């Protein structure tokens, strides 16, 4: 018997933005789906607009699993996770141990395939950059939605993340934001 998927199902119990007052709570399971859809779009944008040839489905799969370690670690808020290099390094080690624990739960014939999803291979660094960019975009979109709901708690984070997105070296980030980003600030009636 494997507990792998039983642990993954607990992603819906891990709340994001723990230090912030939220008008709409967000768990890591729904966040992972949003990141997967945005990462997939970034890959398609790279291919269609910027001459890339990346596997959009592989990017999407990597994004689906990008937060799974948090079923053991919880969601450590960004200001804590990146407070200094020592904390970041220790947290990375803890995440690696959590992923190893999850992989150890899998039957041997499946383990190798899931290891490729949980541990990004060096030859897939280009794909992982798209996942990280999608994660950043989704954080920004969360801030926009909270601001739209009248929650000023996210305003500073929104400005900071928007500046980081504007400075991204990935042209598909700018393209995504131009094509899709602004509609998140609109009401359903305004989207028509």
Residue 148 tokens, joined: 């739209």
What region does 22 belong to: left with phi over 0, alpha with psi -120 to 50, or beta?
A: beta
The 10s digit of each residue's pLDDT in 22-59 is 999 999 999 999 999 999 999 999 999 999 999 999 99
Q: How far apart are CA 98 and CA 93, in angstroms?
A: 9
Structural domains present in the chain: 4-191 (1.10.3210.10)
Task: Please report the pLDDT score of residue 83 as a whole number.
Answer: 81
Q: Average model confidence (pLDDT) for the chain?
A: 95
Q: Are 16 and 32 in contact (CB under 8 A)?
A: no
- Supply the pTM of this predicted model: 0.94
Q: Which residues of the chain have pLDDT under 70?
A: none
Give the pLDDT confidence score for residue 34 in this predicted structure.
98
**How many of the other CB atoms lie within 10 Å of CB of 170?**
19
Short-list 189, 175, 163, CA closest to 38: 175
pLDDT at residue 43, rounded to an integer: 98
CB distance 165 to 140 below 8 Å = yes
């Amino acid at each position: 018997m494997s507990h792998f998927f039983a642990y993954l199902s607990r992603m819906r119990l891990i709340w994001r933005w723990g230090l912030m007052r939220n008008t709409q709570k967000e768990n890591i399971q729904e966040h992972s789906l949003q990141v997967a859809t945005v990462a997939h779009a970034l890959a398609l944008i790279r291919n269609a607009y910027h001459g890339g040839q990346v596997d959009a489905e592989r990017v999407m799969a990597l994004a689906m699993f990008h937060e799974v370690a948090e079923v053991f670690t919880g969601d450590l808020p960004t200001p804590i996770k990146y407070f200094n290099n020592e904390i970041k390094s220790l947290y990375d080690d803890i995440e690696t141990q959590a992923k190893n624990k999850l992989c150890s739960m899998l039957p041997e014939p499946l383990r190798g395939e899931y290891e490729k999803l949980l541990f990004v291979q060096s030859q897939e660094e280009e794909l992982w950059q798209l996942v990280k960019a999608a994660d950043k975009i989704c954080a920004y979109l969360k801030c926009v939605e909270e601001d739209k709901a009248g929650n000023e708690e996210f305003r500073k984070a929104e400005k900071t993340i928007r500046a980081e997105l504007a400075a991204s070296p990935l042209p598909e980030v700018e393209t995504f934001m131009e094509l899709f980003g602004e509609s998140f600030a609109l009401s359903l009636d305004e989207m028509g």
